Amino acid sequence: MIDVPIPQIGESITHVFISRWIVQPGQPVKEGEGILELDSDKASMEVPSPVSGVLTETLAEEGDEIAIGAVVARIDETATVAEASAPVAESSAPSADTRAGPAARQAAQEKGVDLGSVTGTGPRGRVTSADVNSVGTEAPAPAAVPAPAPVDTGALTERVKMTPLRRTIARRLVEAQQTAAMLTTFNEVDMSAIMAIRKQYQDQFVKKYGIKLGFMSFFLKAVIDALKEFPAVNAEIDGDHILYKNFYNIGVAVSGAKGLVVPVIRDADRLSFAGTELAIKEVAVRARDNKLRLDDFKDGTFTISNGGIFGSMMSTPILNPPQVGILGMHNIVQRPVVVDGEITIRPMMYLALSYDHRIIDGREAVSFLVRIKQCVEDPERILLEV
């Protein structure tokens, strides 16, 4: 029998949160395959199986907080797949796949209710503790003049412990607003030139590189151009000193399985447009699959967030400490604008730059955003570095 311990995933991490068991007791597993998913205060990751065999026992539940090094499962490497495929005795405990929160699962266990037989009234059919408590009770007979019954808000409330990752995000966002003199400046950019380039060269780009040319690579290149011209936006405050960084590790906010995360594209100034698109796609896929590593979040110098993919028209992004600048992209909307004295319809995007006023003056911030606008509206500037 082989023990499966929680691996060491970072020097400062002492506990992790079990978010999901990928393999259930009695199921086969191959060496290197993921057994369970973990959340830490920095990232999510899978724990791979150390051997091939059959998972015979799990020693922790989903939602438990476990110390690094603790044994959470056991694998029988002598068992065969045929043995693992044998029917497993049904348990009266609720299935882990049931769409129910911890409060509902606890109520079901206390009442001996099968969650699979409960109709959920929560969002997307989620089973709540009120649904469980209503099992076996009869509805009151209607009164001649029905009066609204008092609402038991406690029964409609679920208490779910925040994951370490969500707690860290919350702490850092509050910390950013409390410690930085944060301001936001806005501008708008005409996306016509970039859209024309993408339309003209998209097929050739896909044929050569196997990936589509998106908007993010243009903005990332424009950001690097602006950072070189205004180095304070790429800096960091260290006590009474300013650390000017002559490298460009750009964090790109992507939507992961556990929420929004900001992996870093390292040495982004050395990447081509194709290299940039491939790097962004790689971290986005790994974020979706909970495969990001701790190193993916280190040493970022500036962040780009694109709320436009969710339909955001305008926002004020919050700094990602210790960085002192973050660019917010938004949705593209066909709007009437004046060009050469004529009213015309153009695809427009609002841009927002949040910055730390302690080391970035308003003039620098506005000029930085204007430089990005110039590079996006006239992409040849990026190639010619003018």
* Burial bucket for residue 339 (CB in 10 Å: 0-12, 13-18, 19+): exposed
| Given 64, 76, 289, 357, the catalytic residue | 357
Closest alpha carbon to 42 in 322, 306, 258: 258
What are the φ/ψ torsions at residue 380 (nearest 5 degrees)? -60, -25
Contact 277, 209 (CB under 8 A): yes
What are the φ/ψ torsions at residue 281 (nearest 5 degrees)? -65, -40
How, if at all, do strands 65-67 and 15-21 pair? Answer: antiparallel
The residue to which tokens 């841009």 are assigned: 351
Which tokens belong to 163?
A: 């994951």
User: How far is the CA of 335 from the CAs of 13, 138, 208, 276, in angstroms?
Assistant: 49, 57, 34, 29
User: How far is the CA of 267 from the CAs of 30, 246, 252, 264, 329, in angstroms?
Assistant: 36, 10, 13, 9, 21
CA 217 from centre of chain: 19
- Of the CA atoms within 13 Å of residue 240, those in its CB half-sphere come to 0
Q: Is 357 a catalytic residue?
A: yes
How, if at all, do strands 71-76 and 2-5 pair? Answer: antiparallel
Question: Peptide bond preceding 102: is omega within 30 degrees of 0, i.e. cis?
Answer: no
Q: Is 361 a catalytic residue?
A: yes
| Given 114, 152, 299, 361, the catalytic residue | 361
Distance, in Å, from the CA atom of 326 to the CA atom of 43, rounded to the nearest integer, reads: 21
**Conformational region of residue 334, where left means phi above 0, alpha means psi within -120 to 50, and beta covers everything else:** beta
List Cβ<8 Å contacts ≥24 apart for 234-241.
234/301, 234/302, 234/325, 235/324, 235/359, 236/301, 236/322, 236/323, 236/324, 237/322, 237/324, 237/356, 237/358, 237/359, 238/322
Residue 50's SS3 state is coil
The one-letter code for the residue type at 218 is F
User: How far is the CA of 115 from the CAs of 96, 134, 135, 136, 137, in angstroms?
Assistant: 10, 12, 10, 13, 16
Residues catalogued as catalytic: 357, 361
